[in-house]
Amino acid sequence: MSFMDTLKDKLGMSKSRAADLAEQHPDQVNQGIDRAGQTLDDRTGGKYSDRIDTGTDKAKDAMGNRKDDEGGSGSM
């Protein structure tokens, strides 16, 4: 097995593990998204506030949509 195949396998496991944890702790995920957005906004001096807000909203919507696709509640 090549190095890239090994790396892809490990990343695949990490991705599924991250998805499981995100599903179990949606409030913490949303809080992390908000915190990341606020950090970006602070570091850019508010220059890109609208774009950062749009990105954080889309990230939260994607979490809700992912739950809906898997048969979860999808409520936020």
Q: pLDDT tens digits, residue range 51-73?
A: 999 999 999 998 876 655 555 44
- Please tell me whether the overall predicted TM-score, pTM, comes out greater than 0.75 for this model: no
Helices (H) and strands (E) counted in the chain, each on its own, are 3, 0
* Most confident among 5-19, 21-35, 58-72 (mean pLDDT): 21-35
Q: How far apart are CA 22 and CA 33, in angstroms?
A: 12
CA distance 22 to 31: 11
Q: What is the pLDDT of residues 37-56, one digit of tens each?
A: 999 999 999 999 999 999 99
What the block records as the tokens of 73 is: 């509640």
- Nearest CA-CA partner of 61 in 26, 17, 10, 25: 26
pLDDT of residue 22: 85
